[in-house]
Amino acid sequence: MSSRVLIVDDHPIIRDALVTSLISLGVFEDVETAASFQELLEKLERDGEYQLLVLDLSLTDVSGADGMLYIREHYPALPVVIFSGNDSVDIVAQCFENGVHGFVSKNSSMQVFVSAIRIVLAGSTYIPPSAASLMGFESNPVIEAELLPAQEQIRFTPKQQEVFEQLIQGVPNKVIARRLNMAEGTVKTHLHGIYQLLRVGNRAQAILRSQQLQIIK
């Protein structure tokens, strides 16, 4: 099966630039595009076999938050990278609350964009260093897990571990509840416990902290 990506952006110049770069650099064999959220849904309903979705937050036919949450809830196996002109730390954090796998500012170079895509395809998560810094994390922390003091060794309960594994996959709360056969309120309770153990306040910070502690890559 050929590697396929779907790029959704309502600016044709941006779409064409991304297609050219991803094909010329050999990241994907098949790069498809959509100019609206409705066109995106039609493509996914026809054939949802994509390895990645690159989604603009500023589509004219859907609000950014509603669109990304719909995709994550209805297509949870499809990794999503947000490509947005608004890269405020609040927007970045909201995107990860909704379960995306990466966020790239439209002000970034094509090299950064492609690097982020490769990181997500490898099964990891990409959070912009500028946003990570504003959340209190260095972009390239050098902390060896085995050298951390005892209080830094994170030990989740079995249920917290199950929820945490879904969290790092970018699975929204509703889908976690469905997969683990628990109420959404129970999922939120476990997430609160996870955040307390990691000493963070949201999903993006939990991912960064887990990378810092080498719980995840």
Contacts of 147 (CB under 8 A, 6+ apart): none
Alpha-carbon gap, residue 59 to 55, rounded angstroms:
9
pLDDT for 118: 93
Query: Is pLDDT of 96 > 80?
Result: yes
Question: What tokens does 154 get?
Answer: 């994170």
Q: In the chain, what are the domain boundaries?
A: 4-134, 145-212
pLDDT for 143: 39
Name the band, by pLDDT with cuts 50, 70 and 90, for residue 1.
Answer: very low
The CATH number given to 145-212 is 1.10.10.10
Query: Is pLDDT of 149 > 90?
Result: no
Query: Is pLDDT of 141 > 60?
Result: no
SS3 5: strand
- 31: β partners: 5
CA 5-48-54 angle, to 5 degrees, is: 35
Alpha-carbon gap, residue 16 to 63, rounded angstroms:
23
* 105 φψ region: left (φ > 0), alpha (ψ -120 to 50), beta (else): beta
**Mean pLDDT (whole number) for 106-110:** 92
pLDDT for 152: 55
Alpha-carbon gap, residue 57 to 40, rounded angstroms:
13
* The domains spanning 4-134 and 145-212 adopt the same CATH topology: no
Alpha-carbon gap, residue 116 to 132, rounded angstroms:
14
- Tell me the pLDDT tens digit for each residue of 2-58: 589 999 999 999 999 999 988 888 888 899 999 999 999 999 999 878 999 999 998
Q: Does CATH number 3.40.50.2300 belong to domain 4-134?
A: yes
Q: Note the pTM of the prediction, 2 decimals.
A: 0.84
- Tell me the pLDDT tens digit for each residue of 127-137: 999 899 888 88
Question: What tokens does 151 get?
Answer: 């209080």
